[in-house]
Every structure is written in C-alpha cells, then in structure tokens.
Amino acid sequence: MSTNWNLLHEKVSHHLQAIYVDVVIKTPVGELATILLQKMRITKDEDIIVSAAHNNYWDEGDIVMITYGDSITNEQERPLFTLLRFLHTYCKNSINNVHILPFFPYSSDDGFSVIDYSSVNEALGSWDEISRIANEYGLMVDLVVNHCSARSKWFDNFIKGEGPGSDFFFTADPGDDLSQVTRPRVSPLLRETQTAEGTKYVWCTFSHDQVDFDFSNPDVLVAFVDIIRLYIDKGTKIFRLDAVAFLWKVVGTSCINLPQTHEVIRLIRTLVEHVDPSIILITETNIPNRENLTYFGNANEAHAIYNFSLPPLLVNTLVTGDCRYLKSWMMSMPPAQNGTTYFNFIASHDGIGLRPAEGLLSDEEISTLVHTMQSFGGKISWRASAHGQQKPYEINITLFDALQGTANGPDKWQVDRFICAHAIMLGMEGMPGIYIHSLLGTSNDYEKVANTGQNRSINRRRWDYGELETLLDSPHSQHHKVLTRMSQLIRIRKAQPAFHPNATQFTLQLGNKLFGYWRQSLDRKQSIFCINNISDEEQAVLLSDINLIGTDVWINLITREEITDVGGFIQLKPYQTLWISNQDIE
C-alpha cells in the first residue's frame, strides 16, 4: 500500500472531521474518506501525485474569455461549434482559456439553475464539442455547488421522499430566527413545498427555482465529488465554484462564509490537486473585499479569487475622473502569495456588483454611480438588507455602455475610455478574465430584457454569427474598433514577463487624474510603468516622478515609441495609456 495514499487518506479524513464536527453522520469519517478517494479514482496501487502548494500554474500568457455556449449562433451548426469557429477566426493569438458558462440542461437563470449536472444542453451541442474546445483551450467550467433546479430529478425525489436526492436539500421552519441570514435577493428565503412527508420549507438563497443543497448530509458531498471527476475527465482545467460562500447553513447565523464552507473548499483542493496539480479552483464570492480575501486560505483553498471590487471601483474612477478610491484599494490589497492569484475582471454575465464596493465607496458615491449608470440605460437589481430595506445589489449594463460618458453625460470618448479600462486591468497583478461582449463592444440589449423580464439580460446578447462577422470586418464599426484594439493590448500583455500574475506591483502616486502602478518581472529583469489618464482632459506625466533609470532604454510598448528624455514629460490624451518598459518584447 502506498505511504502517500495513507497520508492523503489521513488528510482527507482531517478535512471531513472539521466539516462534520457539529453533525452526526451515518458513515464513519475514515470510510467516507475512502469513498471520496475512490470517486476521484485515486487508488492505493498507484503513485500519488504530491502537489506543491506554492507553485504557479499560470503566467502572463493566460487570458480567460468568459462566454455563454450560445453567445454567438449560426442556424447551420451547433452553438458550441460556432463558438470554436469564432475563437479560431478572431481570438487565436489572444485567448488561450475559455470559461463556458453553465452548458447543462437548466430551467432558469441562464444556466445557473441546473437540471442535470452530467449532460450537455442539447440546444448547445454535446460533450464532443466541449472536448474539442478543451483540446485547444484551457476549459473553465462552473461547479454550481450551492443549489440546483427545482425541476431536477434530485428535487423530484425530495418531493417523493425516495431515491437519490430525497435528503439533499436544506429546510428550515418559518418560525426559526432567520434575521441574520445574508440575502443577495429580495425574494422570500423559504419555499413552501408539499412532499410525501408533509409540508417542508426549502431554503432558496437566490430564487424558488434554485433550491439549496444541504451539505451537512455527506451524500451531497459525495455526489459533487463524482461530478468534479466527470468534469476533469471531460478536460476541465479551471473550476469556478459558483456562489460557494453560501454553501453551509446554520440557522441563527448569517449562513455565509461559515468555517465549514472554507473546509469544503480545502477538501476539494486536496482532492483535485492529487489528480492533476495544474487544475485551478476559482471561488466566485460576490461579497465585501475583506471577506473575499479569506478564500485564499493559506494557499490551501482557492488558487484564485474573483477581484469583485475592481469593476465598481474602476467604473467609478472613469466616470468621475478621480482615481483616489481605486488607488487606495489597490494599495490595501495584499500581494497574492505564490500558488495563488487574483482573477481580474471588469465585466461579466451578471452585472457590476455593489456589495464589494461597500466600505470602499460611501453610500453617496454609490448612489451617484447608480444614477449615472441609469442615465446610460442601465438597470438596477436589489437585495434586502438585514433591516429589511432594499439596497442596490448590482448594476446591470454592458461595460461598453457603462463607459459611454462621465457623470456629466455621454461624450465622444466612449471607445477610448473603454480601452483604458481594459488596459488598467490587463496590466494589473492577477489573471485577466474578459467577457466576450467586451471583446465585441456590445451595447445594451433592451429587447432581450423586455423578452425575459430579467435585468441581467441586458448584457447577455445572442449574436448571429453572420451579422457579427460583417460588423467585425467593417473598419468603421464600434465592434471592429474594440476587437482590434483589445486584441493588440492582449498580445502585448502576453509577451511581458513583468505582467506575470504574481509579478511585483507597486502603486504610483501621480495625483487623482493619473492612475499608475509599476510591475517588475519575477526575475527582476523587466520593469513596466503603467500610467493611465483616467480623465476627459489631457494630462502631463513628469517622468522624473516615476524615476526611470537613465542607463536603460525605455519604450512605450503600445505605440513602440522610445522615451528619449527620462527627465522630461509626456502629454497624455484623454484616457490614453502608457506601458513604459525597459525591455522591448513583442
């Protein structure tokens, strides 16, 4: 028997003891650990992979494109095939990882109410198409771990009181003290459900079609480990743990970020890294910044966490022309230790979350941002506060339209402002995630909002491939301009060692109209000064303020212009970016 297997079994048992410390479970912890290892096909007879916690399984070349399986369609082919064709045609030299949002059969929430975790939605394609994409790109897949569809077989069995799933769901009593529960929605928390065993009240964090699992039942954990192994077999390299902060519930608490939730993530980390050390876990925790940071653990939980505070702070910066809050936040962010990194994004299939701006922007500033976005055609989604008040939870708008102007109204700088936002993100410490509609410069889809009645639909347009192709090939269209400039920035970024996700980052003090930071490669050979004019007026940067070393040759990587006077100044146009480097790497 492998000694490594025994040590791994002991480690898994330790995780399980911590998870179920307050729960009486039928299966002994040691036996449960054996079951989980069997589900992951980690056997006693094989050499056990020993993973190093502080290895970086990513570099400056990693860019993730976020998309639905049917964001682009063609009547003649399955959407997943069309997606692959789009990637080949327009993204071959820029994108190397693809996050396909839930591609399983579902009943609501555009895929996040999963009916069957083990199959591909036939309207999109099959596992064959998924495998083709996984063979050419790093595949990122959602593990929708907090809840499933009320139309799933598991929930049918819960209602019947028999079969797999009959005891998978969390219930509470309407008389319980639920006043502390953190809610991302304003819908009632409990769903009254008639079952074979009488009336039960099922916990629904998000909607009554999304019924929450009860992870205090180990069978739920076993089922999800089975699912994880299936996704690995299908080529998954990155797991996005959806809404994972809500996973463990204890009545009388906030039911968010509980210790057992963190321990479940540590367990999943232990299991997947002993199958393939290069598999990455990313936690999707749309919560205040301080709480979000805890999901790194001690390099033993998430490999990456969503940098949720970045979208509201960056949009606020660009519409106010004032970077003080973005700068303060960046200075407060701890460097991610090796083996962990930030997952940076500024647009997603959801919207611009406002909870991660709490404590970073005042209520008044958030209110101003909300009103500005509404004036640009944005919608607002609400949540219930602890005192029953409705508070803005999320701004629903395409990023392209969110940056169409400033707090004073729309202006002529929309494309430049939009590119500036991405230049800031692409240069920052962390791995960039770019929503497909940001690559395409997509505007608000009001027709889809009207058809679905859902605010989030505004940023979930479904493009016809032929129409999109015409626009992308037209030099005068916003879509061509955006894709061309975005692709250029991405290609430059991918070649720079100083843009490694874990390279050193230092915030520059250049006033409130210029947002800047310095990056240095891990081998300390390359430095890049990233300076961005975040205002609608020209700004001068004094090169003496950033202390360029006079013996080095400095070049602006974006324009290819050499900096000849390191003691002079450069005039920046509105929303212009400089990437000043001492190494000319193309």
Q: Is 256 exposed, middle or buried (0-12, 13-18, 19+ CB in 10 A)?
A: buried
SS3 content of the chain, % helix, strand, coil (to 5): 35, 20, 45
Catalytic option among 242, 322, 445, 536: 242
The answer to whether 229 and 41 are in contact (CB under 8 A) is yes
User: Does the annotation place 240 within a ligand binding site?
Assistant: yes
> What residues contact residue 169 under an 8 Å CB cut-off, 6+ apart?
154, 155, 158, 202, 203, 211, 212, 213, 214
Q: Classify the C-alpha dihedral 30-35-40-41 as positive or negative.
A: positive
Please name which of 72, 172, 302, 560 lies closest in space to residue 293, comparing C-alpha atoms.
302
Please name which of 460, 464, 465 lies closest in space to residue 111, comparing C-alpha atoms.
460
User: Does the annotation place 183 within a ligand binding site?
Assistant: no
Task: Report the alpha-carbon distance of residue 6 to residue 48 in Å, rounded.
Answer: 10
User: Does the annotation place 524 within a ligand binding site?
Assistant: no
Distance of CA 271 to the CA centre of its chain: 22
HSE on the CB side for 299, CA within 13 Å? 13
Q: Which long-range contacts (CB under 8 A, 24 or more apart) does 17-22 make?
A: 18/259, 18/260, 18/263, 19/215, 19/221, 19/260, 19/263, 19/264, 19/267, 20/216, 20/218
Q: Output the six-digit token pair for 425.
A: 């993100």
> What residues contact residue 441 under an 8 Å CB cut-off, 6+ apart?
400, 415, 418, 478, 479, 481, 482, 483
**For the sheet containing 554-556, what is the strand order?**
504-507, 514-520, 527-533, 577-581, 554-556, 561-563
Q: Output the six-digit token pair for 296.
A: 């790194």
User: Does the annotation place 242 within a ligand binding site?
Assistant: yes
> What residues contact residue 78 under an 8 Å CB cut-off, 6+ apart?
124, 125, 126, 129
The answer to whether 321 and 368 are in contact (CB under 8 A) is no
Q: Output the six-digit token pair for 441.
A: 């410069």
User: Does the annotation place 109 within a ligand binding site?
Assistant: yes
Q: Reply yes or no on whether 62 is catalytic.
A: no
User: Does the annotation place 241 within a ligand binding site?
Assistant: yes
User: Does the annotation place 456 within a ligand binding site?
Assistant: yes
User: Does the annotation place 47 within a ligand binding site?
Assistant: no
β-strand 72-73 against 463-464: which pairing, if any?
A: parallel
Residue the block writes with tokens 């100044």: 569
Task: Report the alpha-carbon distance of residue 414 to residue 400 in Å, rounded.
Answer: 7
Task: Report the alpha-carbon distance of residue 44 to residue 4 in Å, rounded.
Answer: 9
Q: Output the six-digit token pair for 538.
A: 């020209």
Task: Report the alpha-carbon distance of residue 195 to residue 275 in Å, rounded.
Answer: 40
- Annotated binding-site residues for substrate read 109, 147, 240-242, 349-350, 456
Residues annotated as part of the active site: 242
- Annotated binding-site residues read 109, 147, 240-242, 349-350, 456
